[in-house]
Structure formats: C-alpha cells, structure tokens
Amino acid sequence: MAEAIFPVLGTIFVLAVVLPVSALLTKGALLALERSPWNSPLHGLEGRYLLLTGSSALPLAWFLSAGVHQTETGSSLSCLLDHHTAALCFEPAFFTATLVLALFSVGARVLRRHRGAPSSRSASARALALRLEALIARTPALGPLRGRTVVTELGGHALGTQGLLVRRVAVGVHFAATLSDELLASALAHELEHVRAFDPLRYVALELALALNPLGHRLLGRHAAAWRGAREAHCDREAVLHGAAPLALASALLRAARPGPSEAVALGAADASLLRLRVGLLLAFAEHRPTRCCRRGRSGLQLAVAVLALTLISPHQTGTAALDLLHVGAERALSYLWS
Amino acid sequence: MSFRLRPGKRGLELRLHELEAATMEVVWSRRWAAFTVGDVLAVLERQRDIAYTTVMTTLGRLFEKGLLERRREGRRYLYSPKLTREQFLEGTAREVLEGAVGGSQAMALLAEKVSLASAGELDDLEALIHRRREELEGG
C-alpha cells in the first residue's frame, strides 16, 4: 500500500495540478502575445505552436524522464539490469508506468480518430492518378509531390495531407473531377507546404497536448483553433509564393468548402469567416504578390523536438528535485492521513 | 462583397459597413492611387441608387477610420488608399482567427467544410473571384 501511494498520488498531481497550471501560464503568455501591439496573427506561428504543445509535452517529458532516473540506487540502468536492485526501483517505475498508461490511453484515442483516407484502385481512381502524375510532371514547383499523392473515393473527401512521418496528399476523386488542372495545381501547391512542414504530425501533437491536459481544450482550444486558421492562411501565401495562381487557389478553396450531398456537416459560421479571410487574402495576392516577411515557418517542429530532447535529458543532468519533493510529500500525506 | 468579417464584434477598429466595404472594393479593384467623390459615385451609381452626399459621407468615414488619406485640391478633396487590401485583411485577421472553430482533424485539409446555410455566401465569393479574374484579365 505504502509503495503505491507515490506512483498514484504523483500521477494525479502531475495530471490534475501541474498540467492545468502549465495551461494557465501558457494562456497568459498567449494572451500577452496577442495583445502586444506588434503582434500579427499570421506571424509568430512557430512560437505560438511551441507554447501550445509545450504546455503539456514539456512537463510530461520531464516527469517521465525524472521517474526513469529517480531510482533509490541513483542509477536507472542498474534498475533495469541488476536484479538485486530492481526491487528498489518499484516506486519510480510504477509512477512512470502509470503516466505512460495515461498517455497511451489518450494518444490511442486521438490517433484512432485520424486514420488517413484509404486509397482506391477503381478505374476513375487510376485515371485521376495518371492526371495527377502528368500535372506534377509539367509543374516544376510541384516536383516534391512526385510519388506522394494517393487517390481516394472516401465520401466527401476533398484534398488533404495525411501521414505523420511519410506525408501524402490524398485527393478525392469526386472533388478533383470538379476542378480544372489550374485549380488542382494551385490546391496541390497549398498541400505541398503542409507536406514540407510535417503539418499532420504537428496537428496530431497539438491535439494530443490539448487532450492530455484536463484544462487543455477549455483554456487553449481557442488559441489552437486560431493557430490552425493562421497556419492554413500561411500555406495559401506560401503556395502563391511558389507560383500558384491566387484566384485559382481561392476557387479551389470554395469548391473544397462545399459540403457534399452525403455529408452531415455543422461547423460554426466562424469557419465561414475564416474562409472569407483566406479568399480575401488570395484576392489581394492576385493584385500584389505577397512577400515573405520573416522566417519560412518550418523551423518549429525541429525546435520542438530539440526542446523536448533537452527536457528529457535534463533530469539526468540537473537532478530530480521536483519529483523528490513530490515523492516525500506523498509519503508524508499518507503518514499524516494514516496516523 | 463585404469585408465585414465579424459584424457586430467590438474592438475592431477597421470594421466596415456595407457601403464602406463596397467603396473600398471599388478603390482596391480599380487600383486607384488618387480619386474624388465623383469617381466613386460614377462606379457605384451603376450598381445602386446613391446620392453624391452619401458617397462623400462614406469617404469621410473611411478617412476617419484610417483607410483613406486625403488632401485638398481646389474646392474638393483628393482621396487615396492608405492600406492595401492585404494590409487591411491582415489587420482584420486577428478577430477572425480568434473566433475560428477548432477542427479536430489532424489531417491538413484544404478547407474545413462550412455549414450548409452558407452556400449562398460561397456563391457570392465565387462570383467575386470570377469578377476579379475578369478585371485582371481585362486590365
């Protein structure tokens, strides 16, 4: 009983106290960013993404790593290899296992919801595959999409990038049939930016971060939605910068936004506002070619991975004082309640 | 086409009423560097019944909102746009994005589906793109 108190109370503390406090601090930082006079919603996307995902990922990574390193022998390796000392490792190992279990249960649910559209091999799908191949071959800017497209007949699917590490653009047969080559090429140019920037992976990581935090959606959901909207507008701008026709892309956007007859869709009118904003920007790009104001917006993921790696290493380098405190606190609480 | 992206929302400095949006649309689409009340009136009166004084008041409001600048030339004002359409939209983007509904799809989709009720709005946007294409190809 006494051995289980720290793993159980520790996990509850991390999930119910540390993560919500982190979400609260992150919200404060995001609000400060939004209210700063030099802030523009279409800029600073990488920083905002790091804040949103880091609010859950970094505390969890630290506690997981600390749990692994905190063994009574002072060596996590001896915990794994030496049977005599293995018994001493029970509490931190149990704590880590409980946290990992919580992560997996939420993570599996999120990932299950995001299976990509299945590819089709019907005659019309093969015809579209050939059309895409020809279009990509004669459009140099779309070269990186060679071998990265799949054709799907999934009802209502328009066009989207899927796959966490191996990214592919899934093109809906029925949607593509409504587009001329110019519109389809512009839409593919938009998706190319998602492919280049590992956006499906980013979106899943963001959603995981929000889902793992008990207050994630409540406190940060609005900021995450705004980030996604801005990210889409950013991809429109990048597509135009890489040669896509702005008006063709705007038309493709509107075709993709039209619900098919078999779909039951009920998103709020604010999405229509976002669509109008994107179309408006593309109309503006048709008059004045956009300029790239700052960084290209693809460095965020690499930076996130580097920060995560540093966080994972830090308990090994700087000690596990916070977890020690949690451990002692849980045992004192137990003895106080038990006596 | 109205650029009132969040009608009724407070705090949006550049919020435009329908006639203001129509006026800016005329200015931006014709890429006027300088224009008078009469220039705008000549275009707008082809689309609607509108008085000279209404256009004059509208241009005055757009000047006060910081979308236009003006200088006196004889007995009339000569107006010019202070912001491009892109700059205006970027300025408006914060309100739009703050109100965005979060999609749960992790796939990066070209466009979220919007409600069926907005089909008319999609038609309007398509018509606007069509007009802009004709303007650009013609000019």
Give the tens place of pLDDT for each residue, B103-118: 444 455 566 555 443 6
Evaluate whether residue B122 is within a structural domain: yes
Across A30-39, average pLDDT? 78
- Interface with B, mutate which of A162, A240, A262, A276 (most B CBs under 10 A): A276
In a domain, B124, yes or no: yes
Decide: residue A264, CB within 10 A, 0-12 exposed, 13-18 middle, 19+ buried.
Answer: exposed
Residue A87: the pLDDT is: 58
Domain assignment of residue B114, yes or no: yes
Task: Work out the pLDDT band at A213, boundaries 50, 70, 90.
Answer: very high
Residues B117, B74, single domain; the answer is no
The total number of structural domains in chain B stands at 2
* DSSP designation for B107: S
Q: B71 and B16, same structural domain?
A: yes
CA distance A231 to A49: 10
* Same-domain pairing of B18 and B73: yes
For residues B44 and B54, the answer to whether their CB atoms sit within 8 Å is: no
pLDDT value of residue A54: 92
Asked if the model's pLDDT at residue A76 lies above 60, the reply is no
Q: Residue B89: pLDDT above 90? A: no
Please tell me which of the candidates B98, B108, B118 has its beta carbon nearest to residue A269.
B118
Degrees to nearest 5, angle at CA B30 with B25 and B33: 105
pLDDT at B91: 67
- Residue A263 confidence (pLDDT): 45
pLDDT band at B80 (very low <50, low <70, confident <90, very high): very high
CB contact under 8 A, B100 and A116: no
Q: Which helix (H) or strand (E) holds A57?
A: helix A45-69
Residues in chain B: 139
Nearest CA in chain B to A231: B108
Measured between CB atoms, does A160 come within 8 Å of chain B?
A: yes
Which residues does A127 contact at the CB level (< 8 Å), separation at least 6?
Answer: none
Mutate to test the interface with B, among A194, A254, A281, A291 (most CBs of B within 10 A): A254
Answer whether A273 sits within 8 Å of B99, measured CB to CB.
Answer: yes
Which of B89, B105, B117 has the CB atom closest to A114's CB atom? B105
User: Does B33 fall in a domain?
Assistant: yes
Judged by average pLDDT, the poorest of A2-11, A29-38, B6-15, B129-138 is B6-15
Q: Tell me if B110 and A42 make a contact (CB, 8 A cut-off).
A: no
Q: Is B103 on the interface with A (CB under 8 A)?
A: yes
Which residues form the domain of B139?
101-139
Please indicate if any CB of chain A lies within 8 Å of the CB of B90: yes
Per-residue tokens: B57: 């008041």
Residue A300 to residue A47: CA distance in whole angstroms: 7
Are residues B44 and B76 both part of a single domain? Answer: yes
Average pLDDT on B14-24 reads 78
| B62 and B21 within one domain | yes
Report whether pLDDT(B69) > 80: yes
Residues B66 and B111 in one domain: no
pLDDT exceeds 50 at position B6: no
The answer to the question of residue B131 being in a domain is yes
Q: Which of A160, A269, A276 sits opposite B110 (nearest CB)?
A: A160
* Same-domain pairing of B67 and B115: no
Q: Which residues of A touch B105 (CB under 8 A)?
A: 114, 160, 203
Do B73 and B128 have their domain in common? no
The pLDDT value given to residue B110: 61
B77 shares its domain with B27 = yes
Give residue B3's pLDDT. Answer: 37
Give me chain A's average pLDDT, please.
81
Mean pLDDT (chain B) is 75
Which residues lie below 8 Å from residue A158, measured CB to CB, with a gap of 6+?
A172, A175, A255, A256, B109, B110, B111
A48 in reach of chain B (CB within 8 A): no
Rounded CA-CA distance B58/B20 in Å is 6
Mean pLDDT of B10-39: 78
Rounded CA separation A153/A131 (Å): 15
Does the pLDDT of residue B102 top 60, yes or no?
Answer: no
- For A262, other C-beta atoms within 10 Å of its C-beta total 8
Q: Has residue B6 been placed in a domain? A: no
Torsion from C-alpha of A36, A284, B109, A144, nearest 10 degrees: -110
Q: Is residue B88 part of a domain?
A: no
Q: Give A253's contacts in chain B (Cβ within 8 Å).
A: 110-111
B contact test, residue of A277, A291, A293, A298 with most B CBs within 10 A? A277
On whether residue B28 sits in a domain, the answer given is: yes
**What is the predicted ipTM?**
0.70
Q: Do A267 and B85 touch (CB under 8 A)?
A: no
CATH number, domain of B38, equals: 1.10.10.10
Using CA coordinates, name the residue in chain B closest to A160: B109
Lowest mean per-residue pLDDT among A108-112, A118-122, A314-318:
A314-318
Q: Which pair of tokens denotes residue B136?
A: 């650009």
Residue B2 pLDDT exceeds 50: no
In terms of domains, do B43 and B75 share one? Answer: yes
- Residue numbers of A between 274 and 303 with CB closer than 8 Å to B: 274-281, 283-288, 290
Of A114, A247, A288, the CB nearest to B129: A247
Residue scoring higher pLDDT (A106 or A77): A106
Q: Which residues are CB-contacts of A221 (< 8 A; sequence separation ≥ 6)? A: A210, B102
Interface contact A200-B108, CB threshold 8 A:
yes
Tell me, what amino acid is at A262? S
pLDDT in tens, A293-320: 555 555 667 777 888 888 877 777 777 7
Pairwise CB contact (< 8 Å): B109 & A159: yes
Q: Which chain B residue shows the shortest CA-CA distance from A272? A: B114
Query: What mean pLDDT comes out for the span A214-240?
Result: 89
What amino acid is encoded at B31 in this protein?
A: R
- Which whole number is the average pLDDT over B70-88? 87
Residues of A whose CB is below 8 A from B121? 272, 276
Q: Which one of A229, A247, A279 has the shortest CB-CB distance to B97?
A: A229
Return the residue in B26, B107, B115, B130 with the most chain A beta carbons within 10 A, the one to mutate for interface testing: B107
Q: Do B40 and B70 belong to one domain?
A: yes
SS3 content of chain B, % helix, strand, coil (to 5): 50, 10, 40
Mean pLDDT value of segment A126-136: 95
Which of B89, B107, B110 is nearest residue A277 as measured by Cβ atoms? B89
Say whether both B118 and B60 belong to one domain.
Answer: no
* Minimum distance, in Å, between the CA of residue A166 and any CA atom of chain B: 13
Q: Answer yes or no: is pLDDT of A244 > 90.
A: yes
